[in-house]
Amino acid sequence: MARGSMPTHNVRARTGRQDDKQQDILTTIGVAWKHQNGDGFNLQLNALPVGFDGFLLVIEKRDE
């Protein structure tokens, strides 16, 4: 794992619920770093939400 470096991506899970605009609600459940050799990512997951439907997104971090 990329210890000592800041994560470059968030890992989010689709909860199976939608907001008032009918958009999927996503919950941040961990972080990701680009793999050392550039092929893929290392993931650190902290939780899986209740009702998890098996759909994860790895999204580049941005100032929020």
What number of other Cβ atoms are within 10 A of residue 60's Cβ? Answer: 8
Cross-strand partners of 26: 14
Sheet holding 9-18, edge to edge: 41-45, 24-34, 9-18, 56-60
pTM of the model: 0.73
What is the bridge-based pairing of β-strands 41-45 and 24-34? antiparallel
pLDDT per residue rounded down to tens, the chain (64 residues): 445 678 999 999 887 788 999 998 888 999 999 888 878 889 999 987 776 777 888 888 886 5
CA-CA-CA-CA torsion sign (21, 22, 25, 26): negative
